[in-house]
Every structure is written in C-alpha cells, then in structure tokens.
Structure 1
Amino acid sequence: MLLRFLHDRSANIAPLFGLAIIPILGIVGLSIDYGRANAVKADVQAALDATALALSKEIESVAEKDRKTRATEYFKGVLNRTDARVDDVSPNLKTTGTGGYELTVTASVTVPSTFAMVLRQGDLKVTGSSEVKWGMKRLEIALALDNTGSMAWSNKMGHLKTAVHNLIDQLKKASRKPGDVKVAIIPFDTTVNIGTKSKDEPWFDIDSLDCNGWKKGSGCTNSNWKSHWEGCVRDRKYPYDVQDDAPGSKNGTLYPVYECGSLAEALPLTNDWSKLKSKVDEMEPNGMTNVTIGLVWAWHALTPGIPYTQASAPAADLDKVIILLTDGENTEAWNNASNNKVTVASHIDNRTRLACDNVKAANIKLYTVRVIEGNASLLRACASNPGSMYFEVSQASQLNAVFAQIYENLASLRLSK
C-alpha cells in the first residue's frame, strides 16, 4: 500500500499547475504591459509631432529660458494620458547655413507596470523625438492681382489689400538679409501698366494705335503717342502673348500700347516693403478681365531679361513663385495679329491655359486664388498642385486666411523625421 502511494502520479497536476501559473501569469501580464507601452509610444510620437509643429511657429518670439516650459505645456496638452507620467520634454533649436531653422523636441515618459512586477520587471520607459525644419530659400514672388470692376463688389478689393499687406509683413519678417526676399506687384485688367519710363525703348507696337480711343480730341497721333501714353500694354501676337520672349527678339514680340484708365502701375521685384504696401494701396477696381496678361507679366517680372531686369538667374537656393488672383471669368483680350478684341471666354481661356503650362514648365511655382466668381476648373488646373496650391473663397473676408496659408507653404514648414 505504501509503495503504491509513493509511486502514484495521478494527483500531481494540481501542484504542478500551481507552480507554473505564476510565470505564466507574469508572461501574459508582461505582454499586456508592453502592449500598453506601445500604445503610449504611438501617442507620444503624435504628441511630439504636434508639439514641434506648434512650437516652431512661435519659438523665435519665446525666450530661450521659457522654451522648455512651453514645449512641456504643448506636449502634456496633446498627450492627455492618465496611464503615463511625463518625465521630460526638451526642445533644441539650431540654425542652418541657409538661414533656416531646425527644431528637435525629445520626450521621456514612464508607463507604470501592472503585471510585469510579477517577474520583477520595473516600470517601462518610452522615449521619442520629432524634428521640424523651416525657413526659406531666397524667394522671388510676383503677385498678379485682378483689378477689374467686379473687385469693387463685396469689398473684395479692401479685403485683398489687407491680405497682401499682411503677406508683405510676413515676408519682410522672414527675410534674413536684404535681397533674400523680393516681391513684385502686377495689377491687371485687360492690360498691364508698365509705366512710361521705357517709352523710348524699341519694345512697342503702335500699328494698332487708336489715339481716339485714348483721349479723343487731345491731338494724339502715331508720331506723338509717347506724350499721351500712360504706360499700358495689351496682349502680344500669338504665340508670344503666352510666352516670355524678350520684346524685339522675334517678329511679333513687341508690346501693343493702349490706354490705362485707372489701372495702377506694376511694380517690379523689390524688397522696399514700404513701396510695396503703397503700391497695393494704389489699386482701384475698374475694367474687364484678361487673366492671361496678368499671369504673363508676373512671369516677365521673375525672369532677368528685358523688359524687367530685377530678377535673379535660376539657382538651387532660389524659389520663384507667382500668386495669381482673380474674381471673374475672362471677358476681353486682344488679338494683335488681326487688331481685334477677343470677347469669347473659351478662346481667352485657351490662352490662359497655355500661359499656365508655360509658366510651370519654366519651373515657377504657381498658386491660384478664385474669389467668389471665376472659372474654377481653369484656375485649379493652372495651379502647380491643384490640391494644395489652388484656393477658392466664397467670401472676400477669407482672403487673409488664404494668404496666410500660402505664406506657410512658402516657409516650407514640415516634419523632417
């Protein structure tokens, strides 16, 4: 009987299970803790990304001694996890050789263990980092701005002036040294006013000149037109109406002179911020719409050859950008080959489409803005990126936000890693 009892194994399962259950529970619990830690790590990374982006927008105005506190506030506000303890959040800002900035934000978080203690494992540490780079290359930007009569409606012109003033202020602040950022203002209706300083240059076509259309009875003739001309030009002959060829370089490249009305004179590239603002203030709505000529003269402003010579040659550290804004359909252009007005919108749209394609092929970044009215499909396709560089506003008061968004795009704010 005693020997049978000693050799009996039928009841061993219970004590063996009792001995094994502790490490089994520990391993299961450890996997649960690590699962929690992984979930926290994902949230920590998302919070770091949000913190870095938010802090980058204001860090230059935050004293160095206060940056750590500000970063911690942002991070804790976004993380919002009760099962994790924030140990440290540290921002590190440095400048790059090209005048930009790099901001790195690191964080360390503790996740208290629950089951892992069974295996004598301590609390779990979660760390992460996020880096933001921002700043600009050198920038040359031309604003092709609709100054037609419909811009008087719904205070569109007033809101446009405010938005452009604010953009100029932001660009001025972003400029690290004189000449880093230059801006041109190109108001347009069916013409562009290039001013009369160049009237003695051999750039102009007067074959279609109609002095009676300017100042009837003023004594204007084909021989004395320079005394009456106020500086406006119309579309050149096809195909040069949508190209950047220098005037006089080929047959058909001369600019047809025309009357101006109240159209403000274009301002070539400059970093004279006061002059830029004054030019914006001069703009008054009047006349019909020809988007093509506004876009083409903005292109002229960004190329170093005549008629404007202020632009730099293309370079790796230089971005050239056009912002094209209009509030209406194309209504009137000029066929300089036949000396006739073109009033069929689809025909003018075709010229605009070609101009857009040529500008983009010239490696110029093109933003388009539709203000309440206008050919949305044409302007969307015209933009370099229809998804991120075409903007549409239903109220003129939204223009300020649009130009602020464009500025952020220009500043190349991005998560780098």
Structure 2
Amino acid sequence: MTVKSQYSFAAFRRACTSFKRDIRGNTALLFSFAIIPIGIAAGAGIDYSRSIAASAKLRAATDAAALAAAIVTQDSVGTRVGVTEERIRTATAAFNANIGQTTTLTGLNFTLTDLGTTVRAVSSAQFTNAFGGLLKRPTSTLNAAAEAMLATNANYEVAFALDNTGSMADSGKMTTLKAAMTSFLNKLDAANRSIGNVKVSIVPFGNMIRLDTTTAAGAMWIKQPLRDLTQWPGCIGDRISPAYDAKATVPSTGTPETLFEAIDGAYNVFPVTPSSTSVVPALPFTPIACNMAQVMPLTENFPTMRATITAMTPGGTTNLTIGMSWALQTLTPGDPFNNALPFGGSHTKIIVLLTDGLNTQSRWSTDAPTMNARTLAACTEAKSKGVIVYTIGLMSEDTALLTSCASTPGKHYFAPTPAQIPDIFDVISMDVTTVRLSR
C-alpha cells in the first residue's frame, strides 16, 4: 500500500511539472484576455468617426442658419419693427432644414442672438455612441457656433453672359448650368426681399446674340429702322471692330458706326432702306435663323429669368467678345434697353461670364489671338466703368484670357466638371448678397 501511495504522488508531481512547461494554447489564452480592450478601442474609433461626421453636420447647419439670418433686413410685412424676430424665425427654419431627420443627434438646441452688426448662432446636441455601453458613455455633447455680418441694403445689377455654343450639349454641361442658374436665381430672389433691389440680365451667346424682334425691329438704334424686318430672326453680330465692338457706347444715329446691324444666322446683313424708297426691295438672300435664346434685359421678374434659362439651347461657335459686350450693354443706361442705373453710383454692377471653350468665330475674325484681344478690350471696358467681372471656365478654357478678364485673379474660377458649377455659383451668390461668416 505504501508503494502505491508513493507512485501516485510521483505521478502527480510529474503531471504538474509537465503542465507548467507546456506552452501550447498560450496565444489563444492571451487573445481571450486582450479581445475586450481591442473591442473597446475599435468601438471607440467607430464612434469617433461617426461623431466627427455628426459634428460637421451640426456646424454646417449652424453656419447656414447664421447666413440665412444675416440677409434679413426687414420683417415679413416689410418693416423693420420685427426684424430680430424675423431673423430668429429664418435662422431656426434654416437650421432645421439643414439638420433634417437624424437619429444620431438628440436633444437639439439652437439659439440666435442679434448683436446689431452681426448675428450669432449657437447650437448643441447629444450624439448617441453606438458602443457607449462598453465605455459607460452612451452619449457625447456636440457644440457649434457661427457669426455672420449683417447685410446692408444695396442695389445690384447682375448680368450673366452664358455660353450657349454647341459644345455645351456635351457631358451634361447645359443641363447642369440650367439647374445651377435656377438655384442661383432662387437665392437672389430670396435675397431681393432683404438686401435691397436686385435686377438681373441674361445674355445667351454663341458667335452672335439674338434679340426680341417685337421690340428691336424698327428701333432707331438698329441700322435698318425703315426696312421691313418681318423676316429678321433677331440675330445681332459685333459692331465695327476695333472702334465699337468691345465698347458700351450708346448707339446714335449721328454716328452710324455705333448702330447695331440686323443680320441673320450666317452674318448676312439686312440692307438699309432709304427713307425715300416707297417700295422695299426683296432681300438678296434667304434669312438663316439663329436659334439661341433671346437676350433678357435687366429685370426684377424672376419668373422671366427662369423662363430665359429654360429656353437656352446649345448651338454655334464661340465669340466671347459679343457675350461680354452685350452683358455690359444691358448694364449701360440708354439704348438699346434704357433700364440700367448710371455708372458710378452707390449700387453694384456685376458681370458673370461663363464659357466652356476658346474664341473661334466673330463677325470679323476666326483668328484666336485677334479675338482674344477684342475680348480683353471688352473686359477692360467693363472694369473701367466699375463693373465687377467674374469669369468661369467649364472643362476647357483659355486660363490666361479668363484670369485677365476677371476683376481680380480670385474672381476667376475653373470647373473641371459640370458638377462644380453649383458650388462656384454659391460662392458668387455670397458676394452678391454681401453676407459672410465672420467667425
């Protein structure tokens, strides 16, 4: 019995020694101990990324609310009595619209304070942590704040010279431009009720522009006022170059070179009919149409603006000079439109030139360097009169030309794809409404 007991004890000792030396399964054992902190760290990382996105959304909504409030200068009934309350209502609506439906942010709180020259928007929310149970922190508090300078009442005349050439049919450029312009006009429409008086003109251009014949035919600033222009499609080409093609000189019958000539889509000029002629001779050519949308003079009628944008159709070649010169013509007091304010007043005049290509054909030239010189002359003419010029190149551009044309290099934008156009218009709309985040 004694031998058996000693054997059993020795066997037990050998088993213990063997167990102590055996390292098999250590990795699994260690991993089982480490998996909890690893899981906690991974969960914290996921929650951190989610909270960054949620915080950005809160800041964006707060910024939008401050900007929306800043452009309000009167209450809903057109007085300044309840302007602070109107700003608060406007800001709150903008904040709610930008936050939208969210399950990650709860306990939303938003306040707007009118500081006299600025407005301050402050917001906070609770962010729900998906892995908060592991960290004993189910929610985190997010905060955002923004200040915006208040808008001042002002008068704006904004002329858009928009490339309507055939290449604008490619890559969805025209479709995107129409949508971006409509959105831009909607913002100006809203701002028009707050920042003052906003008038807009639109100049769709190719290698020529097109006027409304019901008002232009027979006008004394047309070189053929006495001719029967019932067959005239409304096409207008460049004036005499280099004397007047890039200038905003008001047309005068005393200086025939300043008058605009009725042409067709192939640059055929309608003959002038002397006042002594009793019978108008037949045309020596069959008129060819120019199918671009008609020039829209300055107006506060936003439905008319939107209709002009809808009517735009790509076609023809590129003549940047005529786009610029007619945009300036719409901002010039006197004929042919007679509804612009004088240059040099307290109001602001702006031209936005957008094109997707290079100069290819004018009435007088197809040589790109020659045409570029005339475009720069038109830009210089506009800037000399105090007009602020923005230029936008879409997918393809002469960068040096458009940068030189703009009032400053910072007012030239290049959009590598049509998708950037709405963002560029948003930047310009902020300049037009003179509202910016100050903090």
1:195 maps to a residue whose letter is: D
Distance 1:323 1:291 in 2: 12
Alignment of 1:84-99 (within 5 A): 91-93=112-114
- Give the aligned partner of residue 41 of structure 2: none
Measure the CA separation in 2 of the matches of 1:270 and 1:66.
29
Using the TM superposition, give the Cα deviation of residue 323 of structure 1 relative to its aligned residue in structure 2, in angstroms.
0.5
Counterpart pick for 2:151 among 105, 120, 135: 135
Quote how far apart the aligned CAs of 1:54 are: 5.5
Which amino acid is the alignment partner of residue 119 of structure 2?
L
1:386 to 1:286, Cα distance in 2 relative to 1, 3 A: same
Query: Could you tell me which of 326, 331, 341 is aligned with 1:297?
Result: 326
Inter-partner Cα distance in structure 1 for 2:431 and 2:195: 21
In 2 relative to 1, CA 257–66 (structure 1 residues): closer, same or farther, beyond 3 Å? closer
Tell whether 2:433 aligns with 1:411: yes
1:65 and 1:365 map into 2 onto residues whose CA distance is 30
Residue matched to 1:283? 312
Q: C-alpha displacement at 1:90, in angstroms?
A: 7.7
How far residue 183 of structure 1 moved from its aligned partner, in angstroms, is: 0.7
Deviations 1:90-119 (A, max 9, x none): 853267xxxxx632579xxxxxxxxxxxxx
Aligned residue number for residue 391 of structure 1: 413
2:255 maps to 250
1:331 partner SS = coil
Matches of residues 199-278 of structure 1 in structure 2 within 5 Å? 199-205=217-223, 226-237=229-240, 238-248=242-252, 250-260=255-265, 261-278=290-307
Q: Does 2:384 correspond to 1:361? A: yes
Structure 1 match to 2:119: 103
Match of 1:372 in 2: 395
TM-score by length of 2: 0.62
Matched AA of 1:308 = F
1:159 maps onto 2:176 in alignment:
yes
Which of the numbers 144, 148, 155 marks the counterpart of 2:165?
Answer: 148
Aligned to 1:306: 335
Letter in 1 for 2:320: V
Distance 2:375 2:112 in 1: 48
Worse overlay, 177-186 or 277-286: 177-186
Offset, 1:138: 1.5
Larger Cα-atom Rg: 2
Whole-Å separation in 2 of the counterparts to 1:255 and 1:315: 26
Matched residue type, 2:293: A
Q: Describe the superposition over 1:55-94 as per-residue Cα deviations: whole angstroms up to 9, x where unpaired.
A: 4224478746997xx8xxx9xxxxxxxxxxxxxx985326
- Work out whether residues 52 and 132 of structure 1, in 8 Å CA contact, stay in contact via their aligned partners in 2: no
The question of whether the paired residues in 2 share the 8 Å contact of 1:192 and 1:232 is answered with yes
- Report the secondary structure of 1:229's partner residue: coil
Contact in 1 for aligned 2:233/2:264 (Cα 8 Å): yes
Q: What amino acid does structure 1 have at the position aligned with 2:66?
A: S
- Structure 1 length normalisation: TM-score? 0.66
Q: CA contact under 8 A between 2:223 and 2:256: conserved in structure 1?
A: no
* Secondary structure of 1:180 counterpart: strand
Query: What percent identity do the matched residue pairs reach?
Result: 31
Q: Which runs of 5+ in 1 are unaligned?
A: 1-48, 75-88, 96-100, 107-128, 207-221, 336-341
Q: Mark the CA change 1:56 to 1:346 in structure 2 (over 3 Å): closer, same or farther.
A: same
